[in-house]
Structure 1
Amino acid sequence: MSRKMRIFYLALFLFLPVSAFAYLDPGTGSLLLYAVFGLFATALSAIRNAWYGLRGKLVLFSDVSVSMRMPDVIFHSEGGKYWPVFKPVVQALEMEGIACAYVTPDASDPGLAFKAGGFNAFRPGGEMATIAWMNAARAAMVVSTTPHLDIYMLKRSRGVRKYVHLFHAPTDLCFYEKYAFDWYDCLFTVGTFQERSVRYLETRRGTARKELLPTGCTYYDYMVEEFARQERQATSGTTVLYAPAWGVRSSALTRGAEIIDVLARDGNQVIFRPHPQFYISHKEIIGYLEKRFTGNPLVEIDRNRTGINSMLRSDLMITDLSGVLFDYALLFGKPILLANSEADTGGQEGEELPRPLWDIEASKALSFALIDGELSSLPEQVEAALAFSDKNEERIREFRDRTFYNFGKSGAAAAQNLASLLRGIS
């Protein structure tokens, strides 16, 4: 055996262990595995965001680079269902002579086809591409209906001077997830009840005071116009709109079929229109309800984009704690029966706000009665509520006028507030 081979075998004998007394416990193994997957996911997310950022800078619309030629005001929309919130403001800005841009991820957003002086609407891409574009935007102001700025995906861009939140519903903060508006510079408030909640949370958390500008709910400007365009249809008998919420506040999860059954058996025409999110979060239940009532001439399921036609045709609505309750009351003044007034505020702003919560109290104030216990008395409750219709409409109108800013004229108020903010920035 050569000298080199002897040295090799000696080294192998000295340094190669016969037995490895090593142990990797399951917890450590899982931790290492999660770490590897976490690093991989982080790298993948960084690459994807970099790509979307580059795509946002390069995308062209009508041969104009949207990343380079932006007006002072950019509206950020999450999709077409929010166009009714922005449209009244866009129209009022045209009257003020202020140019604006509208950015949406939704290819079917009606805002993309809207024409107005100084108005430019475009779609950088899908949801992630649009968020990436917004995170690199350059403008004096960004106006958005999206909560949780700088907490979730929508981040503050260094090229934007001021972020403004525009509320899409006339409700308080209590059912938003925590820290929904903490990092906005300015809120266009719907009423004094929102302002009290914002100031309370700022004091409690020690966060900076935001500008609170009285505005109102611009969505109702749009709805009032839509209502005026609708043709009134003569109906026979009583038509009840059952419009449950989604999630844990939904009466449809526990007794939706029973409510529809009782109403139909009493000879009422029933329109079932759940919250749009219901079709996403409760697919099995909506499938069951549709299958059960398909073919019943007294039951209609409304899947239209807006519920204004169903609200117009109905005589009374049954709902839960939801935004549609306010729509029905404030726009039509018709009686409402509240099917569920219970609400869990765990993880939401309402967990920190003082009791009673405004949304719950306002919902009860706008409703004729609360459906409680057995549903056998529901037909009698419907009859009693309808008999009270005239006084109910007057009561709701008084509540509306003393509670909300600029009802039906909030778009003009929002445009004036934006003009004032722009003067302050310049």
Structure 2
Amino acid sequence: MGSAPDILFVAGSQVDLQWVLPAYERAVARGMRCAFAGPGLVVPDGACYVDITVHLLRFVRARIMVTATSGLTANRMPRGSVRRVAVPHSLVSLHMVYPAGTFDGYTDVFCCGEHHRAEIEAMNRHAGVTDRRPLLVGYGKFERLATTRPDGPPRTDGRMHVLIGPSWGAGNILEIMGGPLFARLLAEGYRVTLRPHPSFFIYGDAQITPLVHACRDHPLFTLENSVEESRALWDADMMIADYSGFAMEFAFIRERPVLYVDVPPKVLNPGWRELGPTPLELSVRERIGLVVPAELEDVVSGLRHLAHDPAQWAEQIRRERVRDWVNFGRFGEVCAGELSRMLNDRRQ
């Protein structure tokens, strides 16, 4: 690779790459020397790339490391990196959904919104950390999703189109409601798209197979692979979710409400309450949609309520987005600006 790059973008998988690509594009446009590292990645044409397992990253040289891959411990980070930057790959909380210690070893966290900054500040106080900076930068997903937006108006046959996006892990809406939910919605005449979390496709999950087998021949049912496509994001009228970060993306991008099924929250850090902040995925639900019990009648009733006038939610959702997704649509430029300042600070 020659001399060490200014910025090394690290991804443990192809999925993780999408969150940093807008930053890479703008950093290159500003003249920064950038490279990618990770196993089996498909990187932009002409990009410098080191095909390497994350276990060997410590042997790669770079001034600044940037990654959206969680679980990268400090002893695996490139040696000699002056700044080590975490880019959250979801709008959900950093202190409840991720295990304790996930963001140890980083010098900077590029926060998606005010909630992330409050969470990192709380982690710093709790652990006595003074050299980890929470920076309000934004979230790069919109810039990537915007490139997948279909030309022309959404497909429509006069039916209400419902996107169902279950989160990964135990207690999601597929596990709790499963087949009966889909059967009921299809019987009610809704066009239904199932778009599970990418981990369902990467790691495999027995919850999808029987459901798809039962619904695959129904003309109103579609299974969308969230690793490869995002058409339903642009086509759907409403979304049913549990605690998926994609539900917030749908609401903030489309300015349409989400019907939240009240299932147990996803908790990977049992000690999150000691830190203080209420996780966004718990507090935001009633500000960008409705919360209903995990009962078929309640779900159907909730959809009918939202379908009456989904556009009335737009202004309220925009106000919420200002706090939770800063620099909306400008992540790449803002991120590149912060990286440029880090480089200049180092050179002075």
With the length of structure 1 as denominator, give the TM-score of the two structures: 0.75
Structure 1 unaligned blocks of 5 or more: 1-65, 125-129
For 1:210, which of 118, 124, 132 is the aligned residue?
132
Instruction: Tell whether 2:28 aligns with 1:73.
Output: no
Query: Once the 2 structures are TM-superposed, how far is the Cα of residue 283 of structure 1 from its aligned partner?
Result: 2.7
For 2:109, which of 187, 199, 205 is the aligned residue?
187
| CA shift digits 1:154-196 (9 cap, x unpaired) | 6233332221111222222121111111220111111221111
CA distance in 1 between counterparts of 2:69 and 2:273 reads 21
Rg larger in structure = 1
Equivalent residue, structure 2, for 1:162? 83
For 1:98, which of 25, 32, 40 is the aligned residue?
32
Equivalent residue, structure 2, for 1:144? 67
Computed over aligned residues only, the root mean square deviation of the Cα atoms, in angstroms, reads 2.2
Greater shift after overlay, 337-346 or 311-320?
A: 337-346
Q: Superposition pairs for residues 13-28 of structure 1, below 5 Å?
A: none
Q: Which has the higher helix share?
A: 1
CA distance in 1 between counterparts of 2:55 and 2:204 reads 30
Query: Once the 2 structures are TM-superposed, how far is the Cα of residue 418 of structure 1 from its aligned partner?
Result: 0.4
- Residue identity in the other structure for 1:371: V
CA distance in 2 between counterparts of 1:355 and 1:142 reads 28
CA contact 1:279–1:286 (8 Å) conserved in 2: no
Instruction: Tell whether 2:51 aligns with 1:123.
Output: yes
Equivalent residue, structure 1, for 2:213? 291
Equivalent residue, structure 1, for 2:260? 338
Give the % identical residues.
21
| Local SS of the residue matching 2:62 | strand
CA contact 1:175–1:350 (8 Å) conserved in 2: no
Query: Once the 2 structures are TM-superposed, how far is the Cα of residue 349 of structure 1 from its aligned partner?
Result: 6.1
CA distance in 1 between counterparts of 2:176 and 2:203 reads 15
| Local SS of the residue matching 1:295 | coil
For 2:152, which of 214, 231, 234 is the aligned residue?
231
Q: Superposition pairs for residues 21-420 of structure 1, below 5 Å?
A: 66=1, 68-107=2-41, 109=42, 111=43, 113-115=44-46, 119-124=47-52, 130-150=53-73, 155-173=76-94, 174-227=96-149, 229-236=150-157, 237-279=159-201, 283-303=205-225, 305-345=227-267, 347-348=269-270, 350-354=272-276, 356-367=278-289, 369-420=290-341
Structure 2 unaligned blocks of 5 or more: none
CA distance in 2 between counterparts of 1:176 and 1:336 reads 23
CA distance in 1 between counterparts of 2:186 and 2:73 reads 48
CA distance in 2 between counterparts of 1:104 and 1:373 reads 40
CA shift in 2, pair 1:394/1:319, >3 Å: same
| Local SS of the residue matching 1:199 | helix
Query: Once the 2 structures are TM-superposed, how far is the Cα of residue 217 of structure 1 from its aligned partner?
Result: 0.5
CA shift in 2, pair 1:355/1:165, >3 Å: closer
| CA shift digits 1:98-150 (9 cap, x unpaired) | 1100113124x2x2x434xxx423423xxxxx224311111111111123443
| CA shift digits 1:222-274 (9 cap, x unpaired) | 223433x5432331211111111121241111212111111011111111121
CA contact 2:56–2:76 (8 Å) conserved in 1: no
Query: Once the 2 structures are TM-superposed, how far is the Cα of residue 377 of structure 1 from its aligned partner?
Result: 4.2
Q: Which has the higher relative contact order, 1 or 2, with Cα contacts under 8 A spaced 6 or more apart?
A: 2
With the length of structure 2 as denominator, give the TM-score of the two structures: 0.91
CA contact 2:243–2:266 (8 Å) conserved in 1: no
| Local SS of the residue matching 1:283 | coil
| Local SS of the residue matching 1:85 | coil
CA distance in 1 between counterparts of 2:326 and 2:171 reads 28
CA distance in 2 between counterparts of 1:204 and 1:89 reads 30
CA distance in 1 between counterparts of 2:339 and 2:145 reads 22
CA distance in 2 between counterparts of 1:403 and 1:286 reads 31
CA shift in 2, pair 1:225/1:93, >3 Å: same
CA distance in 2 between counterparts of 1:381 and 1:346 reads 29
